[in-house]
Structure 1
Amino acid sequence: MKKLWAVPLLLAASHATAGGWEASTLDTSFMYQQGNYAEVGTASITYGVKATTQANTAKTKMAKNQTRTAFAFKTDVGGITLGLARYMSGAIQLSGSDASLATCATISATCSVVPDADVTVNSLALLAKYKLNDEFSLIAGANQYSIASGATVTALTGHYEVSGDATVPTFGAAYEVSDIALRVELLSQSKTKVSNFKAQSKGGAVTSLTDVTGETMSIPQSIKLNFQSGIAANTLLFGSIHQASWKSAQIEIPQLGAGTLLGGVDGISSDFANRTTYSIGVGRKFTEQMSGLISYATEAGGGKTTADPFTLRNGYQSISLGARYTTGNMTISGGYNYTMPGDVDLAHVSGLTASYKNNTVSAVGLKVGFSF
């Protein structure tokens, strides 16, 4: 039953409505596999996130569908386990201009306040795990976050292109009792400023991309508790608590010159709130080859109203189903996630609005692992 942990974390990587710009969190389950191990996974996410606006009373799709891939590898060297993982850690993928009734270069009642965005953040984590004894382990490493090339945001205030990367220290500890499949793991990442974050903007009288001064971006401090325990023969209880301090990790792009009205470009910024996500589930081993699970996750929202054009929901609830099949040295894990974002009404300072109600997000994930 210990290997069931890999399945719920595959599904957790498919959650489509995490806080801030977060897409997936670091999955360390591969570090607990026996011997040499490698895995690759993919998730296809369909966003049924639609809104009505003051310009368009017809529901319009505001979030783009996504495909997320990940791989991981671990090996044991002496008494130390070394691991490498790559995954999509962040994404802002919006199509807000589809709700506009005209081509919009300035704020107008015919326009959508929700921006277009194509921003992806990828992570490459290098980890080491050292067993102090049969029960306790220490984990340390570094996680590099990199904004993928071609990252853009287009809002009514201007067009922006961003780039940058940061290496974040990662620490943790784990306690295990193998006889009852008990594992409790605590992981922590400290807040880290993206020191080389670079932004350019254009719009209005500024017709070519121009460097901005004073732009800032940070990776938030985060803590994640993963746990699992056998509760009956061939039955496993598992869950997690993930807390991220997004309120102190905003993205700020200052205005260029004196702003749009005076021949420059207005600035743009995020308004992220702190987020805590809870998940719990049960896994069942049916045969030596086949096991399955069901899990539930929830995250509280910041309220039923917002002034932030990047906010598409007020918390969420989700259900996941998964299965795992083992044959020889290969394991195949698959799952389905159904998420129900909370309703939220956007009222921007400009007077433009958007209303999100009765939306859904679904994801299908597949992962293949090899022991060798």
Structure 2
Amino acid sequence: MKFLTGTAAILAATTSLASAGGLDRSSQNINILFERGNYVELSFGFTDPSVDGTDTSPFSSAFGESIGNTGSNFTTAGFGLKYQFTDKTSFALIIDEPYGSDVTYPGDNTTALGGTEAIVDSYAVTGIARYKFDDNWSVHGGLRYQEISANVTLSGAAYGGLNGYNGAFESDGAFGYLIGGAYERPDIALRVALTYNSKITHDLRTTETINGIGVNLINPTLAARSETEVEAPESINLDFQSGIAPDTLLFGNVRYASYEDTVVSPIFFDAAVEPTIENTSLTTIEDSTDVSLGVARRFNENWSGSIAVGWSSKGDDDLVSPLAPRNGSQSITLGARYEQDAMVISGGIRYTALGDARPETGTPDVERAVFEDNSAVSVGVRVGFRF
């Protein structure tokens, strides 16, 4: 019997994770660590979301009218290098974009949410060492350096006195770590790998304004520039694969990320909202669980293909932050892989159905819009070489 070997699950991971929970973009994937021999790769992904809704705020000038697409196209890029020092020791270097957001509401600030925007950018450099005890058991761990920046605007009648608020968060770098282990049975291409990613705390230099005016001019007791502490979430990834028939591989992934600890509460925003809300935050992101499951099949010595389905958890209800107007998702991914000598090229396309949601503001929560039947399409390509 002959099984697919290596990371055939890469066929379903060539696109950025438009279906992932929270702000996830790369899912902090470390599969390159299990590539055979020495290996280097470049990856590129493009996502085209279609996320529109209906204005349901009675105080809006556009009450009952449609809200155009709030999701901007975005790209992701990555780099990976794996080096095999000995039969037992190896090392991987991964550069990726772990988190991101590109949400912009069309319209002006007389509508419910017109002009509201959330832009988050990040990149990370991760170094991972692996030690194999034998053919079955191994451990891995390393350090991650990560930078995050953001720009958030609250605009529209739904925000009342905070209509026109902007928080600009300058880039900050900080370190975290990851640790895990794996069990393998090469004879059936079985691998189960568990990885814990620590939280990373960032101190983001923050400038707060309302309609372009620094808040220190509005309230001299509060500085326009300050530091905002933000925690990127800790997470756990479970990756698995197993041969189920000759040239056929079952693979999947489960990821849990603790986003409820990601609180963004700049000093002026906190002071303005605190009398009505105890735990203030520009974002309200619930913990997320993402699951994917697929099958890969090798057709000949050069070509393989795969299909995978994915699911992202929903919140307790469909009331969500306007900065993330969706609630859970389901996806399907088709992938293909070509391997010739030292070169490996893989590509894929993913369709994601985004869960219906109702963006809300205020205390208690009040629906401001309804988003239904939205989706995103992602495409990606990955080029690798063995050396």
Instruction: Give TM-score scaled by structure 1 length.
Output: 0.89
Find out whether 1:6 has 2:6 as its counterpart.
no
Partner Cα distance (2:154, 2:239) in 1: 38
Tell me the alpha carbon deviations over residues 70-95 of structure 1, each in whole angstroms, 9 at most, x when there is no partner.
11001122442111111111112111
The Cα RMSD (Å) is: 2.2
Aligned to 1:44: 46
Partner Cα distance (1:258, 1:275) in 2: 29
Q: Any gaps of 5 or more consecutive residues in structure 1? A: 261-266
| Aligned counterpart in structure 2 of residue 92 of structure 1, from 89, 101, 110 | 101
Partner Cα distance (1:70, 1:355) in 2: 35
Aligned to 1:263: none
Find out whether 1:80 has 2:89 as its counterpart.
yes
Q: CA deviation at 1:307?
A: 4.9
Aligned to 1:353: 368
Q: What amino acid sits opposite 1:135 in the alignment?
A: N
| Residues 21 and 313, structure 2, Cα contact 8 Å, conserved in 1 | no
Find out whether 1:371 has 2:386 as its counterpart.
yes
Q: What amino acid sits opposite 1:119 in the alignment?
A: V
Aligned to 2:209: 202
Find out whether 1:65 has 2:67 as its counterpart.
no
CA shift in 2, pair 1:144/1:168, >3 Å: same
CA shift in 2, pair 1:252/1:258, >3 Å: closer
CA shift in 2, pair 1:235/1:114, >3 Å: farther
| Aligned counterpart in structure 2 of residue 297 of structure 1, from 293, 296, 310 | 310
Aligned to 2:234: 221
| Aligned counterpart in structure 2 of residue 314 of structure 1, from 327, 349, 374 | 327
Q: Any gaps of 5 or more consecutive residues in structure 2? A: 156-161, 217-222, 274-279
Q: CA deviation at 1:198?
A: 2.1
More moved, 211-220 vs 323-332? 211-220
Q: Secondary structure at the match of 1:6?
A: helix
Partner Cα distance (1:227, 1:258) in 2: 47
CA shift in 2, pair 1:258/1:249, >3 Å: closer
Tell me the alpha carbon deviations over residues 25-63 of structure 1, each in whole angstroms, 9 at most, x when there is no partner.
122221122222100011110001112214441241111
Find out whether 1:186 has 2:199 as its counterpart.
no
Partner Cα distance (1:314, 1:253) in 2: 26
Partner Cα distance (1:337, 1:114) in 2: 29
CA shift in 2, pair 1:205/1:224, >3 Å: closer
Partner Cα distance (2:375, 2:345) in 1: 27
Q: What amino acid sits opposite 2:257 in the alignment?
A: A
Partner Cα distance (1:204, 1:339) in 2: 36
Q: What amino acid sits opposite 1:33 in the alignment?
A: E
Partner Cα distance (1:71, 1:52) in 2: 40
Q: Secondary structure at the match of 1:215?
A: strand
Q: What amino acid sits opposite 1:178 in the alignment?
A: P
Partner Cα distance (1:257, 1:288) in 2: 60
Q: CA deviation at 1:142?
A: 1.1
Aligned to 1:264: none
Partner Cα distance (2:378, 2:313) in 1: 20
Partner Cα distance (2:31, 2:21) in 1: 22
Partner Cα distance (1:2, 1:251) in 2: 43
Q: CA deviation at 1:144?
A: 1.7
Q: What amino acid sits opposite 1:124 in the alignment?
A: V
Q: CA deviation at 1:369?
A: 0.4
Partner Cα distance (2:12, 2:370) in 1: 32
Q: CA deviation at 1:192?
A: 3.0
| Residues 212 and 254, structure 1, Cα contact 8 Å, conserved in 2 | no
Q: CA deviation at 1:370?
A: 0.2
Partner Cα distance (1:222, 1:134) in 2: 27
Q: Secondary structure at the match of 1:332?
A: strand
Q: What amino acid sits opposite 1:92 in the alignment?
A: S
Q: What amino acid sits opposite 1:7 in the alignment?
A: L
More moved, 269-278 vs 72-81? 72-81
| Residues 303 and 314, structure 1, Cα contact 8 Å, conserved in 2 | no
Aligned to 2:151: 152
| Residues 298 and 318, structure 1, Cα contact 8 Å, conserved in 2 | yes
| Residues 212 and 255, structure 1, Cα contact 8 Å, conserved in 2 | no
| Residues 19 and 310, structure 2, Cα contact 8 Å, conserved in 1 | no
Find out whether 1:338 has 2:347 as its counterpart.
no
Q: What amino acid sits opposite 1:358 in the alignment?
A: D
Instruction: Give TM-score scaled by structure 2 length.
Output: 0.85
Partner Cα distance (2:195, 2:343) in 1: 28
| Residues 131 and 138, structure 1, Cα contact 8 Å, conserved in 2 | yes
| Residues 297 and 305, structure 2, Cα contact 8 Å, conserved in 1 | yes
Q: Secondary structure at the match of 1:255?
A: helix
- Equivalenced residues, count: 353
Partner Cα distance (1:125, 1:342) in 2: 32
Q: What amino acid sits opposite 1:273 in the alignment?
A: E
Q: CA deviation at 1:215?
A: 2.1
Q: Secondary structure at the match of 2:9?
A: helix
More moved, 114-123 vs 325-334? 114-123
Q: What amino acid sits opposite 2:99 in the alignment?
A: G
Find out whether 1:326 has 2:339 as its counterpart.
yes
Q: Secondary structure at the match of 2:268?
A: coil
